[in-house]
Amino acid sequence: MKILSIETSCDETAVAIINATGKETDALFQVEGDALYSQASKHAQYGGVYPTLAKREHARNLVPLLKSALKEASLLSNTEHTISKEKQVFIEKLLYREDGLAQKVLQALQNIEKPSIDAIAVTYGPGLEPALWVGVNFARALAHIWDIPIIPVNHLEGHMIASAVHSTSEDGRTFAVQEVAFPMLGLIISGGHTEIVHTTEWGSYAVIGSTRDDSIGEAFDKVARILDVPYPGGPRLSELAQEGRNTLSTRPAHLTKNIQKLPRPMIRSNDLDFSFSGIKTAVLYMVQGLGEVNNTQRTLIAAEFEEAVTDVLLTKVTQALELHPSKTFILGGGVSANTYIKERLQHLFKEEIHTCTLRVPTQNLSTDNAVMIGMTGYFMHLRNEATYTSTDTLSAIGNLKLQ
């Protein structure tokens, strides 16, 4: 089955084409086209994602990305394609709020032959609602012109499925589902979420722990900002933390002076919830207390921050597994790209948790992408979940839950 997938939930605009075969237990995915544009540099001046700008950027980039993905998949043939007047009116109405996207779609699709694609998978939540709407309406427009069904995908399930597959080729273009034994626990750590999820089968989830305020990704990005690292600071903050650990391992004592320990929020709360806003404030006070912060101090603060949040994650993972003994544990979401968190989790499972297999996503599926949305769409197709047609009402849902 060939699926075209679209992801616009935050500040990544992505379109992919995958060829999926097999069952839930032995599915294979060939990535035939993969086009992704990160808007991060555009949002840097605002210190975070600015929803109206994200929406406009998605509308600007979706058509070029679609063409690029189709071309890569050898599905772009430039022939005239007549779009009926009725269809044109439908598209114009559907996309009238999307910053000129209707004209772009009509112009481009009049010159593209209908590709052999069986369905369109699109993220319809959770995420920034104005950003999600662009993707959902774009999917409906393509589905209308090409007369193919739409599979609405929950972005968080996408992050979970991304962790269940492994790359089977060096070019990172083919993936196979790994053996996943249920019950399964998942830890989703991203820019919008920090959740522990329990499930006994794909497609049905119970959230058993979540953050009460900021997500862990937000904490990374906000602490990065306090330390003068531009948005999105998570990955760079993690590099600083590694420098800090290197320094500590060679020249300890006097360097740690003035770098207090940070709190490990809710580490002893008797539940599976998180809170990350206090730790950001603690970093702010520490930096204010220090006055001028030199580079070594920045790296040491970053290391202490990364250690603090990782301590919390590991404690909650252990508690969750005690309360819900499981056979598989999957880590998903953009923050799962963090090497330190991944290594400490891998160490914990190797040393202490022998009855449960840990799965982490490959690096190119960790942060937001359309490939995982296509894979999830395929899993939904295998479960016979209802598809939508372009004329069905399909809404973006900013606070969509996993259930």
39 binds Zn ion (CB under 5 A): no
Report in angstroms the alpha-carbon separations of 168 from 140, 214, 332, 370: 33, 36, 19, 18
186 binds ligand KG4 (CB under 6 A): no
Neighbours of 346 (CB within 10 A): 13
Cβ(150)–Cβ(120) below 8 Å:
yes
Q: Which of 57, 195, 221, 304 binds ligand KG4 (CB under 6 A)?
A: 221
Whichever of 48 and 278 has its CB closer to ligand KG4, that residue is 48
Q: Which of 137, 154, 238, 299 binds ligand KG4 (CB under 6 A)?
A: 238
235 binds ligand KG4 (CB under 6 A): yes
194 binds ligand KG4 (CB under 6 A): no
Q: Which of 244, 334, 374, 398 binds ligand KG4 (CB under 6 A)?
A: 334
Tokens 């899993």 correspond to what residue?
A: 379
Residue 36 φ/ψ region, left for φ over 0, alpha for ψ in the -120 to 50 degree band, beta for the rest: beta
163 binds Zn ion (CB under 5 A): no
Tokens 């972005």 correspond to what residue?
A: 155
Binding mask 180-219 for Zn ion (x = CB under 5 A): ----------x-----------------------------
125 binds ligand KG4 (CB under 6 A): no
Positions in 42-71 near ligand KG4 (CB under 6 A):
none
157 binds ligand KG4 (CB under 6 A): no
Q: Which stretch binds Zn ion (CB under 5 A): 38-46, 160-168, 221-229, 363-371?
A: 363-371
Return the structure tokens found at 163: 């962790």
27 binds ligand KG4 (CB under 6 A): no
Cβ(231)–Cβ(43) below 8 Å:
yes
Residue 398 contact, options ligand KG4, Zn ion, none, Cβ 5-8 Å cut-off depending on partner type: none
Residue 338 contact, options Zn ion, ligand KG4, none, Cβ 5-8 Å cut-off depending on partner type: ligand KG4
Binding mask 340-369 for ligand KG4 (x = CB under 6 A): ---------------------------xx-
Q: How many residues bind Zn ion (CB under 5 A)?
A: 2
158 binds ligand KG4 (CB under 6 A): no
**Shortest Å, Cβ 187 to Zn ion:** 13
Residue 68 contact, options ligand KG4, Zn ion, none, Cβ 5-8 Å cut-off depending on partner type: none
310 binds ligand KG4 (CB under 6 A): no
Whichever of 214 and 368 has its CB closer to Zn ion, that residue is 368
- Shortest Cβ contact with ligand KG4: which residue? 334
Q: Which of 141, 337, 375, 400 binds ligand KG4 (CB under 6 A)?
A: 337
13 binds ligand KG4 (CB under 6 A): no
220 binds ligand KG4 (CB under 6 A): yes
Cβ(221)–Cβ(227) below 8 Å:
no
Residue 217 contact, options ligand KG4, Zn ion, none, Cβ 5-8 Å cut-off depending on partner type: ligand KG4
Q: Which stretch binds ligand KG4 (CB under 6 A): 19-27, 75-83, 243-251, 327-335?
A: 327-335
335 binds ligand KG4 (CB under 6 A): yes
Whichever of 313 and 335 has its CB closer to ligand KG4, that residue is 335
**Shortest Å, Cβ 161 to ligand KG4:** 13
Q: What is the 3-state secondary structure (H, E, C) of the chain?
A: CEEEEEECCCCEEEEEEEEEECCCCCCEEEEEEEEEEECHHHHHHHCCCCHHHHHHHHHHHHHHHHHHHHHHCCCCCCCCCCCCHHHHHHHHHHCCCCCCHHHHHHHHHCCCCCCCCCEEEEEEECCCHHHHHHHHHHHHHHHHHHCCCEEEEEHHHHHHHHHHEEECCCCCCEEEECCCCCCEEEEEECCCCEEEEEEEECCEEEEEEEECCCCHHHHHHHHHHHCCCCCCCHHHHHHHHHHHHHHHHHCCHHHHCCCCCCCCCCCCCCCCCECCHHHHHHHHHHHHHHCCCCHHHHHHHHHHHHHHHHHHHHHHHHHHHHHCCCCEEEEECHHHHCHHHHHHHHHHHHHCCCCCEEECCCHHHCCCCCHHHHHHHHHHHHCCCCCECCCCCCCCCCCCCCC
Can you give the binding site for Zn ion, defined by CB under 5 A?
190, 368
Residues at the interface with ligand KG4 (CB under 6 A): 10, 190-192, 217, 220-221, 232, 234-235, 238, 333-335, 337-338, 367-368
